[in-house]
Structures are given as structure tokens and as C-alpha cells.
């Protein structure tokens, strides 16, 4: 699986390989920037994602995911690179029409704290067969320490079709944002 999250202050690409139905190993590269553009960060990490718990219900599914990462961070306001750890947790609930998720992730290195939290909620406009394109409305709220004191709010249009997933939106700072995901065969 490959994923991307692209906006002026946040550019991330992520590749994940499923080892089992519950475990995946991956690698990620993330470039972050402060709102005024004066501070930048580049973070590359190796990741491990684990489905800690799943509840399968007749019309829905709920999950708890553990996300772990470790890598190197560089920035324009300190010399060299630092080792950064990025453990996190995500909980989500989904039906064929509704999606809700909350994520919390620590981004810590010596002298750096870029802890991150996000919440997403949305609904699909109508039901489709799984091989047809399904449009969703998603609202995401996210915040990260150390680079911005603002909470980013982004309404997005999500389209899912076969192995493709894309989201387009404009955040409350009037910046365009695009997310994508592709599931390899």
C-alpha cells in the first residue's frame, strides 16, 4: 500500500507492506513547515503498524491500531540529525455509509516535541457496489505541536474506486490539500 498527504505545510509519502492481516511494516518520509515558513523539518522513519483489536459487527467494524515509528529528523534551526520516535494509536469506526477516526501520535526527539492529534468524521453520499466509485464527505481536524499554534480544519471530498483512494480539500488557511492511497495487488 502506498499513501500520500500533500499540502503546503505537510508533505508525506508512506509505503506499507502487510506481513499478515494484522501487521505491516513500512517507511515514511515527511516534510513539515511552520505556518510562517521559517521553520522546517524533514523526518524519515521505519514504521510498524499493528491491528491491536477489531470488533466485527453485522453492519460495522471498529478497530484499534498501534503505530510505531523510529527515524531521523533534521531541521533548519538545529545542526545535524536527531533520532525521533513516533509511537501512536488510532481508533476508528466504519459502516458502509459512516466513518469516524481519531489518531494521536507522539513525535519526540531530544529537544523536540511535535506531538500530533487528528479526528476525522464523514459519510458517503450513497451506497454503491464495491467495484463502483463511492464519494464521501470527510471533515478532518488536526493539530501538531511545535510548528503551528493553529488547528487545521479541512473539509474533503473522498473518492474510493477499486484500489484507489483520493481526497481533495481546502483547509481553514485556504490551502489546498490532497491525500491518496493505492493498494498493490
Partner 1 sequence: MKKIIIALAMGIAALSATAATSTKFTVNGMVCSFCAQGIEKRLSKMGATKDVFVDLKKKTVAVEAKDGQVLDAKAISAEIVDSGYDVVKIETVLQSVAEIKGELKSRK
Per CB under 8 A, residues contacting partner 1 are 21-22, 51, 54-61, 94-96, 127, 129-131, 134, 160-163, 183, 185
27: enclosing H helix or E strand: strand 23-33
Q: Which is nearer to partner 1, 36 or 127 (CB)?
A: 127
- Least separation in angstroms between residue 2's CB and partner 1 is 14
Q: Please choose, from the candidates 71, 65, 60, 147, the residue with its C-alpha nearest in 3D space to the C-alpha of residue 96.
A: 60
- Least separation in angstroms between residue 104's CB and partner 1 is 23
Q: Which is nearer to partner 1, 38 or 95 (CB)?
A: 95
State how far the Cα of 179 lies from the Cα of 165, in Å rounded to an integer.
8
Q: Report yes or no: 159 and 133 within 8 Å, Cβ to Cβ.
A: yes
In the 8-state DSSP scheme, what is residue 175?
-
Q: Report yes or no: 169 and 180 within 8 Å, Cβ to Cβ.
A: no
Q: Which is nearer to partner 1, 37 or 58 (CB)?
A: 58
User: By three-state DSSP, how is residue 1 classified?
Assistant: coil
- Least separation in angstroms between residue 83's CB and partner 1 is 33
Q: Which is nearer to partner 1, 43 or 136 (CB)?
A: 136
- Least separation in angstroms between residue 116's CB and partner 1 is 24
Amino acid at each position: 500500500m502506498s499513501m500520500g498527504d500533500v499540502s503546503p505545510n505537510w508533505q508525506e509519502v508512506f509505503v506499507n507492506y502487510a506481513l499478515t492481516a494484522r501487521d505491516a511494516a513500512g517507511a515514511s518520509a515527511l516534510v513539515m513547515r511552520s505556518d510562517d515558513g521559517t521553520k522546517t523539518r524533514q523526518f524519515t522513519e521505519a514504521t510498524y503498524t499493528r491491528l491491536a483489536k477489531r470488533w466485527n459487527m453485522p453492519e460495522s467494524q471498529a478497530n484499534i491500531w498501534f503505530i510505531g515509528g523510529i527515524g531521523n529528523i533534521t531541521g533548519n534551526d538545529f545542526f545535524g540529525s536527531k533520532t525521533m520516535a513516533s509511537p501512536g494509536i488510532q481508533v476508528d469506526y466504519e459502516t458502509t455509509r459512516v466513518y469516524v477516526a481519531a489518531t494521536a501520535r507522539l513525535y519526540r526527539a531530544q529537544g523536540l516535541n511535535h506531538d500530533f492529534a487528528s479526528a476525522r468524521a464523514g459519510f458517503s453520499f450513497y451506497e454503491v457496489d464495491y467495484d463502483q466509485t463511492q464519494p464521501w464527505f470527510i471533515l478532518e481536524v488536526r493539530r501538531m505541536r511545535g510548528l503551528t499554534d493553529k488547528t487545521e480544519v479541512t473539509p474533503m471530498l473522498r473518492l474510493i474506486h477499486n484500489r484507489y483512494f483520493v481526497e481533495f480539500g481546502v483547509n481553514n488557511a485556504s490551502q489546498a490539500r490532497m491525500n491518496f492511497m493505492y493498494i498493490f495487488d
